[in-house]
Amino acid sequence: MFEIFYPKKYMKSAYEIDYKGLYKNGYRGIIFDIDNTLVPHGAPADERALKLFEMLKTIGYETIIISNNKEPRVKMFCDAVDAPYIYKAGKPNPKNYLTAMQKMKTDIKSTLFVGDQIFTDVWGANRAGIYSILVEPIHPKEEIQIVLKRCLEKIVLFFYNRKCKKDMKVED
């Protein structure tokens, strides 16, 4: 019922993902969201974000940011981490996920997406056929329309977690 919204993986933080392991598994490009995925909403790139993008480049990844935000906000962050970007991306429309892959010269099998929202980030990545990783929001302070979506996300996550537990029992 809610499967279209399920991420392939649900992690506490974008900073806890095993990027080296994913690289060994053939992933070469990462599409990121910014706000509440990498930094609190509206915040500039911090030391942790700078180190993450530096590490990803060292591993060999291509990276790009796609955000529904306006260019000044997105450009400020991306200039700091030295990553290309697409602003006003229209997520969950898959169009700019596909554009991002073209820019990175990757495809759906070698690209993954990391974001904090189910109904924009994950749904868009899933619609584009990309491996999606949902992370917990960094900070609870959000715009009202996002707060309302978070209530609906709790329902989807309830069923997602139930499915994951069921799947684990099947593997035993």
> For position 172, what pLDDT does the model report?
45
- Rounded to whole angstroms, how far apart are CA atoms 63 and 117? 19
- Which domains, ranges and CATH numbers included, belong to the chain? 3-171 (3.40.50.1000)
| CB-CB neighbours of 45 under 10 Å | 20
Reply yes or no on whether the pLDDT at 33 is more than 50.
yes
User: Residue 146: pLDDT band by 50, 70, 90 thresholds?
Assistant: low
**Lookup result for tokens 């990498």:** 38
Structural contact between residues 35 and 66, judged by C-beta atoms closer than 8 angstroms: no
| pLDDT tens, residue by residue, 114-124 | 999 999 999 99
86-113 mean pLDDT:
97
Q: Specify whether the CB–CB gap between 88 and 72 falls below 8 A.
A: no
Q: Looking at residues 18-35, what average pLDDT do you find?
A: 97
pTM: 0.87
Per-residue model confidence as pLDDT tens digits over 56-90: 999 999 999 999 999 999 999 999 999 999 999 99
Query: pLDDT value at position 147?
Result: 64
Count of residues making up the chain: 172
